[in-house]
Structure formats: structure tokens, C-alpha cells
Amino acid sequence: MPLMLDADIALMPFIIRNKQDIARFIQLLDNVAKTLYSQKESRAVQRASFARIAKTKQRFQLERFVSKPVTWWIDEAEENQDINEPQSLRRKGNQLKKALSKASVSVLYGKSYLPLTSRRFLTLMPDAARCLAFENALLTRFANNEKALSHFQFACLPMVELPSISLVKKLINDTDVLVVGDITPRHATYELGGLDSVQNLKHRATQTQLHTFMKEVMGYAKARGKTVVFAPLRMPYVAMSMQPYADIAIATHSYVIEKNSTAENDVTLAKGRAQALLVVTSEVLNALAKVIVGEIQGQGRSPVTLTQSN
């Protein structure tokens, strides 16, 4: 106990995760109370400890951190959530995410192929949420260019359950660029984003199945003159084994996405009810898209040495 160690404050985290932990914590407090009640010396030591703590708080004016009214803290929390407030923590956090994503994206090989000017993309992503996030990222790149947007063609297939190989090859024949996103080691089910069907989850592909599938479709696309971009979103090491099948490898070192619901009026709904529209975004996939179209240069560096083919 801190009383026996002549310490005023002891940082001893007590993990509470279930009812049994709560019961154990109550028992701990009871044991401390009984010890103090039965030992006069312990009570004297405790009172002296309390006095030192109070004196220290007064010395450093610690009460100023908690003396503000509850309404002040509520206003502070609301301001920090306001994305339009220049000094809000949320705005600063978003700026930091953008800066880190931009600084981390790394062209592992195939830099001479960049930027890509084609507007016809077929993408294979680890799950449906990352399909939507990458589509959003590419659309944003062309949003201010009406001519480019009119020629924009995009399709994305999630690989939670492997899609039909014949379907993928058919789509490859009608595209110019194949982008394949990889998460190795495979991400957990709770990280998928919740947009894939239960049926797909029941037949989720293993890591070995995914890599075998990727090599087949990338090899097929490359043999037909398509530009193949391999994008390791987690560990970049797998890019070495994929090099014979890809023209370009761009690592993001992160696969984080964000889901936001925007309520908008939908006139097709009865009685004018609002429909929540799900928007999936990702700063790391934004950075990937920017490098692909030449909006930025890949500034990051790989933690491993890869043989450069060009």
C-alpha cells in the first residue's frame, strides 16, 4: 500500500471490464477502509498524506482546471467538435491526418509510370468500405474538371469473398488501369467497416487465397497491356513478391477509413422523412489517389529495400 511506502499517490490501474471486476474493486475499497479503521497509525499517516496533497494542489493552483462551471466544459467540447473552428481539436486532428497520410505514401517501384492520365479504373479492394473510400478519393480528384469527370469510369470489387475470376477478367478487358489494394496481415472482421454482407463474411478468403487471386488477375491485366498498380495498405513487404505482376507499387502504411452519416431530405420517401446517406472517406486513400493522378509526389520511404525495376 502507498501508506506503507511513504507515497502520497500511487498509480495502480484497476481494470474493470465485467461484474466480477466491479465486485473485486468494491472488496479492495472495503479492505482499505478496514485497515485504516483498525490501525490508528495508518489513519495518522493518511491524514498527513491528505494534507501534503492539499498543499501541493494549492501551490500549483490545480483547482483552476476543474473550477470552471459545467456549461463552460460543454461549450468547450462543442467548439472542439466544430470542423469550421480554426482552433478546434477536431480540425487540428483532421489536418494532422492529412499531413501524415501525405508524408507516408511511398512509391516502392514503377515511379516512371506516374502520373497516370487514364480515366478508366478497375479496383479490387479488401472490403466494400475501402471500395467506397477509394471511389470517393478518385472522384474528388476529377470533380473540378468537367471534361475529365465525363470520361471517368470506375468499378470496384471487394475481396472479402473472392469475386468471380471470369467477371474480373471481363472487367479488365474494358479498363485501362487495375488497382489492387492489399492488407497484410489480413485485417480483423471488426475493421472491415460493416458494409459487407453476412454471407460474404461466412466465406471470407484467407490471406493465401487472396494473394493467389491477386497474382492471377494482375498477371492477366499486365499481359494485356493494362497498367497495374499494387497498393499495400498495411505492411509493404508483400510488394516484393507482387513485383512480377505489377507495374507500380504504392504503399500507404495505413488502411484507416471514416464513416459519416449525412441526413438529407429524400423526396422519394413517404411523408418527407430524412434518409441518412453514408459517406466513407480515407485520408490515406486520398493520398494514394493523389499520387496516382500526379497531384502530389510520394514523399514516404519504405522501411525495407526493394529492387527497383525502373
Instruction: Please report whether residue 60 resides in a domain.
Output: yes
pLDDT tens profile 73-111 = 677 777 777 767 777 777 788 888 889 999 999 999 999
Going by pLDDT thresholds of 50, 70 and 90, the confidence category of residue 65 is low
Q: Are residues 115 and 81 in the same domain?
A: no
Is the residue at 158 inside a domain?
Answer: yes
Hey, what's the cell of 48? 498527513
Give the Cα separation of 155 and 27 in Å (integer): 59
CA distance 202 to 199: 5
* Residues 186 and 233 reside in one and the same domain: yes
**Mean pLDDT, residues 266-274 taken together:** 41
For residue 265, name the pLDDT band (cuts at 50, 70, 90): very low
pTM of the model: 0.70
Residues 236, 94, single domain; the answer is no
Report whether pLDDT(146) > 60: yes
CA angle 16, 22, 24 (to 5 degrees): 100
What is the pLDDT at residue 147?
Answer: 66
* pLDDT score, position 273: 45
Provide the mean pLDDT of the chain: 85
Ramachandran angles phi, psi of 301, nearest 5° = -130, 145
143-150 mean pLDDT? 72
Strand partners, 121: 154, 177
Same domain, 257 and 281: yes
How many structural domains are present in the chain?
3
Backbone angles phi, psi at 186, to 5 degrees: -60, 135
Is 241 a member of any domain? yes
Tell whether 13 is covered by a domain.
no
The CA distance from 210 to 130, in Å, is: 16
Q: pLDDT (tens digit, 9 = 90+) per residue, 278-302?
A: 899 999 999 999 999 999 998 877 7
223 lies in the same domain as 77? no
Question: In terms of domains, do 127 and 237 share one?
Answer: yes
Q: Quickly state the pLDDT bin for 10 (edges 50, 70, 90).
A: low
Cβ contacts of 116 within 8 Å, gap of 6 or more: 177, 227, 229, 292, 293, 294
What tens digit of pLDDT does each residue of 198-242 get?
999 999 999 999 999 999 999 999 999 999 999 999 999 999 999
Are the C-beta atoms of residues 268 and 92 closer than 8 Å to each other?
A: no
What's the confidence (pLDDT) of residue 57? 78
pLDDT, position 289: 96
